[in-house]
Amino acid sequence: MRTHICGELRKNHEGSNVVLCGWVNKRRDHGKLIFVDLRDFSGVIQVVFDANLSQASYNSAKDLRTEYIIEIRGEVKVRPDETINNDLLTGEVEISTQEIRILSASKTPPFMLDDRAKVDEMTKLKYRYVDLRTEEMQSNMRLRHEVTTVTRQYLNSQGFIEAETPILAKSTPEGARDFLVPSRLNPGAFYALPQSPQLFKQILMFSGFDRIYQIARCFRDEDLRADRQPEFTQIDLEMTFVKVEDVVNLVEGLIYKVFKEVTGEEIKIPFVRMTWKESQETYGSDKPDLRFDMKLKDVTEISRDSKFNIFINVLNKKGCIKSIVIDDYNEFTRKDLDDLVDMAKKYGAGGLIWIKVEENQVLNSPISKFLSPGERENLIKFLKLKEKNLVLIVADEFIKTCTTLGAIRSYLGSRLNLIGEEEFKFTWIVDFPLFEWDEKEKRLSPTHHPFTRPSDETLKYLKSDPLKLNSLAYDIVLNGNELGGGSIRINNSELQKGIFKLLGFDTKRMEENFGFLLRALEYGAPPHGGIALGLDRLIMLIGRLESIREVIAFPKTQSAVDIMTESPSPVTEQQLNEVNIRLAKFKKETEE
């Protein structure tokens, strides 16, 4: 249909007769002369309709409106010097139009494409086809394509093959809530959409495919966040005969390549690496934002002799006391401090203590009267306190103290503008505990997943003290975001059974849920490991965007609704019958 695309035309096309197709970005009517900015995926070019040149096309141009789709035939002309538009890549030329055809009319769009940033999220999602025309979304989608392209190129070059695995998969316990799909041919039975292709990847390793990857769509029926959608995409890969080091190196190579090719930036590799324990101790998080410092300082030891009840209780329970120091307490009103205390409670800690360092090293705090002179001196010396400093202290059990202060640290990071927005700070977190204690369910739960191999050094605690087991798992963290995680997997049936047992599976349930895996492990399973990277998050971070909705063509709202298609939606009685489902009366209906 067309001979050129809008964005490509330059001075050297002068005199060419071209046919262009695109959207009317803007029409400027000057009476006998009409300018139209014609837009396609490649850019914008000015098209001129001159009544003296072609009365017919000029007349048609009168009817043009924003977002009409047209085809024009005309000649590329170099613009007179004084009318060159330097804001436009095609600004040195314009098309003198001889013929025009309206290919598709358009209603007035629900919002103007050039002020997308201000438009309400709901409006944009309802008219996503309009939103996707904006420069921002066009560029986000292109960015996404570039990242996946480089990923494929890189992994292909490293001996990987791309393999697909079922979307209609088996529901497995553990982990996120499954999306279920009823089976018509097997009444009463359900498939589950995969939370990740994890077990299929592993079994492909058992099958002798040395390295496989997949740009994998994953489904988890959990609540949404700015960086969490019910369906999302992972760069999911698995390799045989590897150690942690091998996977880490490979991923560093991949990330390096992606940044180099996509943004031109040379990311520093290898990435910083720290253990899970270290990360909790110093940043109060398993996904620390290393773009700013503000480390957590442990004051448990110097508080040993404290007379302060809360401290005494925590110390008796083998908890810990940690602090962060802020330069200037004048940044915080009394209300701000109260809010910080509330925040600490929200994150599960008993509370938060603040101490202001006033003139002559006088410590002003709600707990001043409980602090002995010795304690004060210790704090000042140990935390190297200076006048105007503000100390925040949390005392509770280890993990609560860490995560609470960690959350406050990351809040302060943005609140006090400590974050260098331009930076990309990667880190690996390693040596995760294999299990966590689930207080609600009163049982062990896997920190990573139940197929993760315990480290050789801690394997001896398997029977005696499973909470002491460390895993061969690793997370990759970028600017405080969990970008991905992986592990070396168990390749031994007995060990796998042992882990399931610790997780509370009896033989029967083990067989029902994971029989296929245990059997597969008995027919020769090589050592293997892999990782999954959150593709949407990676692209969001590269694009410096606030939400993964910005890098997904058709995302869902926080209540998991696609506003454009109005999905999910009810289905007919017949459809339900065919899959042997009868709806229970749900709350909303019964209340009416």
User: CA 320 to CA 313: how far, in whole Å?
Assistant: 10
Figure out which of the listed residues 42, 66, 148, 275 binds RNA, where binding follows CB under 7 A. Answer: 66
Q: Which residues in 386-425 contact RNA (CB under 7 A)? A: 407
Binding track over 25-64 against RNA, x by CB under 7 A:
-x-xxxxxx-x-x--------x-x-xxx------------
Give me the least distance between CB of 101 and RNA, in Å please. Answer: 19
Stretch that binds RNA, among 88-96, 149-157, 206-214, 376-384 (CB under 7 A): 88-96
Helix (H) or strand (E) run with residue 99 in it: strand 93-104
Figure out which of the listed residues 561, 564, 576, 579 binds RNA, where binding follows CB under 7 A. Answer: 561
Stretch that binds RNA, among 134-142, 219-227, 351-359, 381-389 (CB under 7 A): 219-227
- The tally of CA atoms less than 13 A away on the side-chain side of residue 267 is 24
Where b means 16+ CB within 10 Å and e means fewer, 445-469 reads: ebbbbbbbbbbeebeeebeeebeeb
User: CA 183 to CA 205: how far, in whole Å?
Assistant: 29
Binding track over 244-283 against RNA, x by CB under 7 A:
----------------------------------------
Peptide bond into 446 cis (omega under 30): no
Strand partners for 211:
239
Give me the least distance between CB of 285 and RNA, in Å please. Answer: 10
User: Is residue 106 a contact point for RNA (CB under 7 A)?
Assistant: no
Figure out which of the listed residues 224, 341, 510, 518 binds RNA, where binding follows CB under 7 A. Answer: 224
Figure out which of the listed residues 346, 460, 501, 544 binds RNA, where binding follows CB under 7 A. Answer: 346
User: Is residue 210 a contact point for RNA (CB under 7 A)?
Assistant: no
DSSP structure class, residue 260: H
Q: Which residues in 439-498 contact RNA (CB under 7 A)? A: 440, 445-450
Helix (H) or strand (E) run with residue 372 in it: none
Give me the least distance between CB of 21 and RNA, in Å please. Answer: 20
User: Is residue 5 a contact point for RNA (CB under 7 A)?
Assistant: no
User: Is residue 80 a contact point for RNA (CB under 7 A)?
Assistant: yes
User: Is residue 134 a contact point for RNA (CB under 7 A)?
Assistant: no
User: CA 410 to CA 396: how far, in whole Å?
Assistant: 19
User: CA 154 to CA 249: how far, in whole Å?
Assistant: 13
- Residues with Cβ within 8 Å of 359's Cβ and at least 6 positions away in sequence, in order, are 387
Figure out which of the listed residues 559, 569, 572, 590 binds RNA, where binding follows CB under 7 A. Answer: 559
How many residues at the interface with RNA, by CB under 7 A?
72
**21 and 103 in contact (C-beta within 8 Å)?**
yes
**C-alpha angle with apex 115: 110 to 118, nearest 5 degrees?**
90
Q: Which is nearer to RNA, 47 or 357 (CB)?
A: 47
Q: Which is nearer to RNA, 220 or 356 (CB)?
A: 220
Q: Which of 279, 275, 280 has its CA nearest to residue 397?
A: 280
Structure tokens at 341: 């205390």
Q: Which is nearer to RNA, 98 or 361 (CB)?
A: 98
User: CA 16 to CA 13: how far, in whole Å?
Assistant: 6
Q: Which is nearer to RNA, 316 or 590 (CB)?
A: 590
Figure out which of the listed residues 54, 60, 97, 196 binds RNA, where binding follows CB under 7 A. Answer: 196
User: Is residue 208 a contact point for RNA (CB under 7 A)?
Assistant: no
Stretch that binds RNA, among 183-191, 304-312, 346-354, 492-500 (CB under 7 A): 346-354
**282 and 163 in contact (C-beta within 8 Å)?**
no
Figure out which of the listed residues 111, 179, 209, 382 binds RNA, where binding follows CB under 7 A. Answer: 111
Figure out which of the listed residues 227, 261, 278, 397 binds RNA, where binding follows CB under 7 A. Answer: 227
Strand partners for 39:
23, 44
Give me the least distance between CB of 316 and RNA, in Å please. Answer: 25
Q: Which is nearer to RNA, 197 or 319 (CB)?
A: 197
User: Is residue 91 a contact point for RNA (CB under 7 A)?
Assistant: yes
Q: Which is nearer to RNA, 32 or 501 (CB)?
A: 32
Q: Which 3 state secondary structure label does DSSP give 94?
A: strand
User: Is residue 223 a contact point for RNA (CB under 7 A)?
Assistant: yes
C-alpha 115: how far from chain center: 25
User: CA 72 to CA 45: how far, in whole Å?
Assistant: 12
Give me the least distance between CB of 3 and RNA, in Å please. Answer: 21
Give me the least distance between CB of 123 and RNA, in Å please. Answer: 5
User: Is residue 304 a contact point for RNA (CB under 7 A)?
Assistant: no
Give me the least distance between CB of 125 and RNA, in Å please. Answer: 7
User: Is residue 84 a contact point for RNA (CB under 7 A)?
Assistant: yes
User: Is residue 569 a contact point for RNA (CB under 7 A)?
Assistant: no
User: Is residue 10 a contact point for RNA (CB under 7 A)?
Assistant: no
Structure tokens at 484: 């991905």
Binding track over 151-190 against RNA, x by CB under 7 A:
---------------------x-xxxx-------------
Q: Which is nearer to RNA, 260 or 346 (CB)?
A: 346
Give me the least distance between CB of 288 and RNA, in Å please. Answer: 14
CA distances to 127, 222, 404, 411, 529 from 562, in Å: 11, 16, 34, 31, 36
Q: Which 3 state secondary structure label does DSSP give 259?
A: helix
User: Is residue 82 a contact point for RNA (CB under 7 A)?
Assistant: yes
Phi, psi of 33 (to 5 degrees): -140, 125
Helix (H) or strand (E) run with residue 487 in it: strand 481-488
User: CA 513 to CA 308: how far, in whole Å?
Assistant: 51
Structure tokens at 99: 């013929």
Q: Which is nearer to RNA, 36 or 371 (CB)?
A: 36
Give me the least distance between CB of 151 and RNA, in Å please. Answer: 19
Q: Which is nearer to RNA, 305 or 342 (CB)?
A: 342
Q: Which 3 state secondary structure label does DSSP give 83?
A: helix
Figure out which of the listed residues 347, 354, 424, 500 binds RNA, where binding follows CB under 7 A. Answer: 347
Structure tokens at 98: 């001889």
**529 and 242 in contact (C-beta within 8 Å)?**
yes
User: CA 97 to CA 251: how far, in whole Å?
Assistant: 52
